[in-house]
Chain A
Amino acid sequence: MAPITFLEAIKQAMFEEMARDPSVVLLGEDVGVYGGAFKTSEGLLQKFGWERVIDTPISESAIIGAACGMSYLGLRPIAEMQFIDFIACCFNQLTNFVAKGHYLWNAPAPIVVRGPSGGGVHGGPFHSANPEMYFLHTPGLKIVYPSTPLDAKGLLKASIRDNNPVLFFEHKFLYRRIKEEIPSDDYIVPLGKAIVRREGHHLTMLSYAAMMHTSLEAADALAKEGIEAEVIDLRTLLPLDEETILDSVKKTNRCLVVHEDTKTGGIAGEIAAILFEKAFHDLDGPLVRVTSLDTPVPYAPTLEEAFLPNAQKVFRAAKALAGY
């Protein structure tokens, strides 16, 4: 099979799940006639019709609320945020209504909320966000953030089939920039499992989404200096695969977390706490964080470059950590 882009992987996952199961529907802004702002739903309306591919008003709370209500009758709606930044508009609906339903009154809400996230494409402060951590603090939600086309397709299919509300982040920098060959069969990638992308024994590098590729680039540069980094792609942030993280850190004794989200309150802090609780005696050095700055995402390319982590920043931090 010819390699496909990340964007094509998303489209294929939705297409195949809708073809497989008539209870899967898609709703969001401009997802129908226009095929989505990034064309991830192009052709779905023509194939599945307007009852299953629903163009909505610009009403994020109503999109999430309606998706949740539809799920109560056994449907599995996919709700698209045109840009994931707009998920802030439906924060209440997600955190108070959708997330708490199963715990409180035994009402599962099998919905997927997906949308393009992340920076590096000069989208500015309102089209570049990584809002995953607002929701990591909400019991009842699952959070998926893939880094490759193969994973994107398999994880999206698994998310659609999951009985819980899943927030599915698609890093838009990756949409058209990476290609990968994927299996031709109906595969899924299970939620809650991290994957070791590169084996190494000097230090563990934890990352996800676009920063996973940055981490791999830095790991290649480190290898030239004799430092072998083990790069782990978290893939699912909630639930977090503690086992894979701990296994690696117990082997390498050093841990570096790379994420594009801002530093304060980012997942690196949570991982640090887990390591202190469960691997304190295995650590030979401090937990090191390479993250974006604690600022909004700035617009100008020079500013955004300063804001984001890159392979050089990761390389320098990793090299210092390896010295412990």
Chain B
Amino acid sequence: MPELGRKPKLSHQQCLDLYYYMRLNREVEATMTKLFRQNKIVGGLYSSLGQEAVSVGTAYALEKKDWMAPMIRNIGALLVKGVPPRDIFTQHMAKFTSPTKGKDGTSHFGDLEKLHIVSPISMLGDLIPVMTGVAMAGRYLGQKIVAMTWIGDGGSSTGVFHEGLNLAASQKAPLVLILENNLWAYSTPVGRQVPLENLADRAKAYGIQSYIVDGNDVVAVYTAAKEAVDLARAGEGPILIEAKTFRRRGHAQHDPAEYVPAQQREFWEKRDPITLYERFLLKDKLLDVKSKKEIETKISTLLDEDREFAENSPMPPPELAEEGVYCSGDDCHKIRPSWQRPIEELQPPKSSVEAVWNVAGFGRGITPGGGIAPIHFGDTAVHRRPENKPTPPGKPTLRKKAATNRASKPVSAGKTSK
């Protein structure tokens, strides 16, 4: 019987919070599936069934002041950040009461002012440089915030994934990127998307730290995310976390996902993140039948109320179509940053730049970061394809910066290293 990999360093209440949000995540989506079948959802419906631990465990590591930009399957992250279920229902039903007033659907909405959520768009990867900018601005303003965003195994193939993560790395931006590897990009299995066993290996190319975590173990996910958020806040960002999980439904409701092998589906269904966590909570007496019932009642009451609100909400009036393309100025949005540091700090010499001209990792034996240079003058170094080792479930693996991981021995002049 599969079990959680490690015990949480969490209070009783925090343990129950994680449980509540995962259950809420699942029930919100179950409600929407019903609405979809009743033809009340305007467009597509995308499911995160079986991936709740990733959305909830990662977002739960953020503080209130932090920023996030979820993707379409991160409903759980929205809920953790404080989005009420009614916003998610009204969005999907294109209602006037929705956050976008019916101008966009699904989880395509955000909140700059209160919740600090940036809306996704359908083109994957664009959020990575945007959240890098959020992280850079937060640092500049002295806000000590962390920016978190998500990308899938498929989305990691985009060019802007590289541009964004590379900029974040070169800026040491306090960004945490969750690479949610659910093994399928629509109908394309991850192996045809990326020729790597561990997508976290991409982090090496940017000289940043990464984790690989069992995405169906909410405690492991949270533990890795919390460490990463703390590291990023301390100036050690950006950090990449690969969460290995599985997309149990098709790309969207219309897709029966017949291309997924039955054995693979069975394997992952046995590792349902909510079942796993519930079993652990019951066993460790963190949850009993009574408190479980209370949580279920709380969720169903909330969802009944919010679903009813959404169903009774009007569609947007046609004249709204032409409104809001441009911001008209202060009457529309007062754009003022929140400074959390003295402005004098921003002026040189305190913020001056020192040029560095030596070539890192070449010809000196030791890199500026303290690592061993892989190459001396006159050498050739070969980097063979690394042997991939599967990660045991439940153990988040911290992978140190690539610079300290490279060729362990200095290569003597004139020889070729293998």
**Cross-interface CB contact of B129 among A52, A69, A104, A163, cutoff 8 Å:** A69
Query: What is the number of residues of chain B that contact chain A, defined by CB distance less than 8 Å?
Result: 62
Which of B51-59, B134-142, B190-198, B309-317 is the contact stretch?
B134-142
Closest approach, in angstroms, between the C-beta of B319 and any C-beta of chain A?
14
Contacts of B159 in A (CB 8 A): 61
Most buried by B among A32, A100, A103, A140: A103
Contact of B164 with A65 in the complex, beta carbons under 8 Å: yes
Contact of A56 with B167 in the complex, beta carbons under 8 Å: yes
A105 close to chain B: CB less than 8 A: yes
Which of A71-79, A257-265, A277-285 is the contact stretch?
A71-79
Contact of B100 with A104 in the complex, beta carbons under 8 Å: yes
Encoded as 1 (CB less than 8 Å from any B CB) or 0, chain A from 101 to 119 comes to 1111111101000000000
A93 to B127, CA, bound (A): 9
Contact of B335 with A57 in the complex, beta carbons under 8 Å: no
Contact of B351 with A49 in the complex, beta carbons under 8 Å: yes
**Cross-interface CB contact of A51 among B110, B135, B351, cutoff 8 Å:** B351
Contacts of A74 in B (CB 8 A): 137, 141, 335-338
A267 close to chain B: CB less than 8 A: no
Encoded as 1 (CB less than 8 Å from any B CB) or 0, chain A from 4 to 25 comes to 0000000000000000001101
B262 close to chain A: CB less than 8 A: no
Given contacts A52-B346, A61-B159, contact A33 B335 (CB under 8 A): no
Closest approach, in angstroms, between the C-beta of A190 and any C-beta of chain B?
12
A92 close to chain B: CB less than 8 A: yes
Query: What is the number of residues of chain A that contact chain B, defined by CB distance less than 8 Å?
Result: 54
Most buried by A among B110, B140, B329: B140
Contact of B346 with A22 in the complex, beta carbons under 8 Å: yes
> Which B residue's beta carbon lies closest to that of A76?
B335
Contact of B140 with A65 in the complex, beta carbons under 8 Å: no
B296 close to chain A: CB less than 8 A: no
Contact of B326 with A73 in the complex, beta carbons under 8 Å: no
Given contacts A57-B170, A59-B163, contact A163 B353 (CB under 8 A): no
> Which B residue's beta carbon lies closest to that of A75?
B137
User: 6 smallest A-B Cβ distances: which pairs?
Assistant: A69-B133, A65-B129, A49-B351, A74-B337, A66-B133, A59-B163
In the complex, 21 of the A-B residue pairs with CB atoms within 8 angstroms, ordered by the A residue number, are: A22-B343, A22-B346, A23-B336, A48-B347, A49-B348, A61-B129, A61-B160, A65-B163, A65-B164, A68-B130, A69-B132, A69-B134, A70-B133, A70-B140, A72-B134, A74-B335, A75-B137, A92-B126, A106-B112, A139-B325, A163-B330
Name A residues whose Cβ lies closer than 8 Å to a Cβ of B: 22-23, 25, 32-33, 45-52, 54, 56-57, 59-77, 92-93, 96-97, 100-108, 110, 139-140, 142, 163-164
